[in-house]
Chain A
Amino acid sequence: MNVTLRIWRQHDRHAAGRMVSYGVESISPDMSFLEMLDVLNEQLTAAGDDPVAFDNDCREGICGMCSLVINGIAHGPEELTASCQLYMRHFTDGDTIDIEPWRSPSFPILRDLIVDRSAFDRIIQAGGYISAPTGAAPDAAAMLVPKKDADRAFDAATCIGCGACVAACPNGSAMLFTGAKATHLGALPQGQLERNSRALAMVNQHDAEGFGGCTEIGECTAVCPVGIPLDMISRLNGDVLSALRDNTT
């Protein structure tokens, strides 16, 4: 199949970018979207042009590196699918496909389709951890966790931190990411000690990074490749309010 790509090209953080059109021919429908970009880059390199820079690592939907807005939808048209797990058979021969980076002032574009997502790391540093002694691993059954809580924590922990929630949000909010991380730890007994301070510190860092507030529209959950539900934001909101009510926080 043959497709026309319109790709955002930007030399570095400070350069102005623009959409550039490329034709890619004889693509197999069984190629992944990133393999199709690899073919394009081989063509560009052979012609002496700069290849298109894009983030990727595991290519199996678990590392959270791939970050493409495809035809205006973060991670493309398929539900519960990261860009790397998207296949060319989801498109039709002759399509024009627009590819852009995540757009958020908190995720500065480094080059072409690569953005700097360090803001997420700083939100984690602010409170996305539990304080626990290191050393020998404790007995696995030392602290019992109800199945419901373990499942909830696991559902939250599936967040791969890709940033699609920010890319899709009309408010540029990262509350789905922050909510998932706070729920992951806050649902478990080990996370209770710092539950209040974690909620405040993470929400404060979220705002300090320049992300917008959540208006509960739900575009983030529609593009999330691992299906983090919207209620994790509500849970973080509830944690912030109870932390503010608690005088000892």
Chain B
Amino acid sequence: MSTMSTATAPLEYNYTYEEHLSLLLARCPDRSYGEDMVVSNGAGQRSRALRSSASLHAAMAVSGLIMVLFLLAHMYGNLKIFEGREAFDGYSGYLREVGEPLLPRVGALWIIRVVLLICVLVHIYAAFTLWHRSRSATAGKGGWRYETTKNRRGVQRSYASFTMRWGGVIVGLFVIYHLLHLSADYIAPGGASPSPYQRMVNGFSIWWVVLSYVIALIALGFHLRHGVWSAFASLGANSSVARRRGLNQLATVVALLILVGFLIPPLVIFAGWVR
């Protein structure tokens, strides 16, 4: 923070621009004026700003949007279940071969896995840091810090915004369960299989597996409903009242698309239409 030192000489208008800046500098010795006349307000602002809540929200937004892009691709792949066992398993094999011979086998997949892992870690680190800051900024009580029990849900808060943090934890736990189930084949409720198609059919023939996915996907849908909108706003894209409405509509569309797109295969398998 800069403090103006006491005036040395009155500033008037009959100076050149350079003289004006040097006079300003004389008044504020803790500032520096660069060659291109950009004012720097003291040292260390940049490195502090990198750790600011605004920067952490931007990191959360970028990592989240990359994960949304992955989800859209993942959802598209899942819908290949309708093309039959050969097409689905073939697509799974293709994901391991793509990029060959430039990349080693499974190379492209590992690049995606590493990028996603970095995104997950950045997202979680930023989330918990900001969660902690939010709790300390409200004496640990968030929106419930008033004695009155009236209007505790705020004036216009959405259910999606209420469930961002705990919903995010649920989605995170679900991802671990899901990777152990359909990727690693470690948890295999309906029986393990080397065929990804068969793993899906085996798993989603059991009611509680379908139910667990439905609950997790609804949590994900709410997370994306607020997350996609706030990601764009955190990156500076919310530039007007109309844009606020537009970005919220986009978030609703993305959330519904991902919710419905991911729900179709398990429900269709459970109904016995794909076997």
Residues of A within 8 A of B (CB): 6, 8, 19, 69, 71-73, 98, 100, 103-106, 122, 125-127, 131, 133-136, 138, 168, 170-173, 175, 193-194, 196-201, 203-207, 210-219, 222-223, 229-231, 233-241, 243-244, 246, 248-249
Contacts and interface: CB of A to CB of B under 8 A. Distances in A.
Given A211-B137, A231-B240, A244-B46, A170 B13 contact: no
Given A135-B11, A207-B48, 8 more contacts: A105-B137, A138-B13, A170-B154, A172-B134, A203-B53, A204-B45, A217-B157, A238-B235
A217 B161 contact: yes
Closest 5 CB pairs of A and B: A238-B236, A213-B53, A172-B137, A212-B137, A234-B238
A134 B164 contact: no
Contact of A240 (B49, B148, B238): B49
Contact of A231 (B53, B56, B148, B243): B243
Range, interface on chain B: 35 or more
A73 B50 CA distance: 33
Contacts, number: 228
Given A106-B137, A134-B10, A237 B58 contact: yes
Nearest to A243: B49
Nearest to B143: A170
Nearest to B138: A172
Given A237-B58, A248-B36, A216 B229 contact: yes
A203 B130 contact: no
Given A100-B148, A218-B156, A244-B55, A235 B239 contact: yes
16 contacts: A71-B150, A72-B150, A100-B147, A103-B145, A134-B10, A194-B41, A196-B38, A201-B45, A212-B138, A213-B53, A213-B130, A214-B57, A217-B161, A223-B155, A246-B38, A249-B40
Nearest to B232: A234
Contact of A207 (B53, B142, B150, B233): B53
Contacts of B206: none
A135 B13 contact: yes
Interface string B19-60: 010011000100000101111111001101110111111100
Interface string B225-263: 010011001111111110110000000000000000000
Nearest to B132: A212
Contacts of A193: 37-39
Contacts of A243: 46, 49
Given A122-B1, A204-B48, A215 B161 contact: yes
B59 to A, nearest CB: 11
A133 B11 contact: yes
Contacts of B54: 175, 203, 213-214, 236-237, 240-241
Contacts of B273: none
B241 to A, nearest CB: 5
A199 B237 CA distance: 16
Nearest to B149: A72
Given A173-B137, A223-B155, A229-B241, A194 B233 contact: no
A33 B234 CA distance: 37
B137 A215 contact: no
B12 interface: yes
A216 to B, nearest CB: 4
A231 B154 contact: no
